[in-house]
Structure 1
Amino acid sequence: MEGLRKSAQEVEIDHLLAEEFCCDPTFAGRFLSACQPQLFCPNFRASMAVPEPSLGGEGFGDFLVEGEAGELRVALLIEDKITASPGVRQAKRYLACAERMRGMGWDQVWCILAAPASYRGEHGEYDASIDLETVARLLRSPDLKRVAYRRAIIERALTKRATSGVKVPDLALHRMKSDYLQFVAEWCAVEDLALSFPPLRGSYYDGDSWIGPIRHSSLPDHVWLRHRLWTSVKAPAGQIDLIAKTTDAAEHERFRIERPDDAITTLFSKGKGMQISMPLPEMRQGSGFDEKIASEACRAMGNFVQWYLAG
């Protein structure tokens, strides 16, 4: 089954714009005049808004506005963006659809990008573009509460974009990794296991579940280890990986056929290498550092190193 194609904020804005075009007869004029470059179409009136229209077998658009300007049939193909990056050939697919529509009797079809002012996508490849900040100012109604409510929909989307990717340092995770790195350094010294771990960073974030790359003095440069303290949000499991970043067929075959007992072999980096993995109990910041799990991880890494060198 195909996953969700659009974010909730984009769907909300699609619905908002469709209603404005169809229910406010003056909105289309303000919208087209505010586009860059300005689209001149006096007396344009929208008659229908079609959500997620087919682009003639080349995917789907966000929505299509159909209408008239006097005796002319006019359509607007609108793509809205919040945080998503441009799709593959997205603007070209819109323009090709517009050309087909003109061949089917439409007098004018414009492809328009509606996106935040900070969006750095393919503005110049559409017929015109308009900032969502400007769209918010174009909303009109005698009911001031209604205007405020609808502008807030756009403001929430803009806020989401502004804060998207902003991470908050996780102090508990930093403390856990600090304890981990101190412990494994001491453990490896006692057990004479020549593993070198990455230095402690100044901050870590909620999803920083890896310790790596972890090197061994006898392993070649293209082979390293990592400890995944947890493997997903929901799965209560950790994992040790031995990774060989190589396309050498013989090495790939060895990872598949001769892997250690209970280890799992998978491709690494879309076939640019191979990895073998061993499950471990998870270690999360909520429960804190666990010496037993860290010891088990070091032993598993030592066993992987011995396996690789024995080949």
Structure 2
Amino acid sequence: MADSTQDFKELNRKAWNKEAVPRFELPEFKALSKLSVLKYLTIGSNGQSASLSDKEAYTVDEINKSCVENRSIKAKEEASALGNKVNTDIWCIFDKDDKGTSEEPLEILDFACGPGNVTLALLDSLPLEKSYRITGIDLSEDFVDAYNKRVDFPNVHAEALDILGKEDVLKNRKFDIAVCTMSLHHISDLELLCKRIATHLKKGGWFLAMDFDGHAIFSGKEAVKRGIAHSTLEPEKITNLFEKAGLSQILVERGFRLEYSKEQKLTIAQRKEVNPEEHHPDLGKKKLCIVAGRK
């Protein structure tokens, strides 16, 4: 069993290599990233600091076809075709009263960015009228290479960096928003991670993370083989970690999930027969949560 941060780093490098990149083109992987962005944009917009999701199940097709549509804040106030509104306290560039006169772009960190699915979903969602810069970081050089090939946009790039090492690889860089999507359960030292992320937030900046609400898919040796450091991870634990890192104004939304069609379930089952190592064969059965905290 792996029992150190370095062990899990190597396990994740092995699990998430160039052979894993094509998985992120699968409909369920794209939908998961788009769902995370929908939730990042709208968390807390109902005025509640902690709540059950107003919608439990989001179908893969629904998310992929009609996630976030308004790229013009002048035309719409709603964040998406699903009827949720943007929390402009976090995403100020959606504020219709903000004229966007600042010369400084909104700085966004996509931590554990993979080959770029979340960044692509952000780019599809953020308003064209405003200025922003997205930096992706990941342990996997293969993922970073794929990211920089897939995400060909100005002011967007990824780097292969280990922010849990001894050196502060991000140096003096500061971000307005940091996101971490379905990766906390892969990080053995979550307390250190949250503190490092918080260090690189600007004053008033936000850290938003989406992960399992409760049990991950794998446990024991199967989990370790896939670089999973935490088989259980609840919003209460994430909240505690955020608070230890000096974050406040904690927002929590939980109890939502992806829902697969019968055809998608059949396709996933067929893939699993071909490849027993299929990483997320039963993702549609798992509840998810989002936690956000402000520096």
Interval of TM-score (by shorter of Structure 1 and Structure 2): under 0.3
Q: Radius of gyration: which is bigger?
A: 1
Q: TM (normalized to structure 1)?
A: 0.24
Give the TM-score normalised by structure 2: 0.25
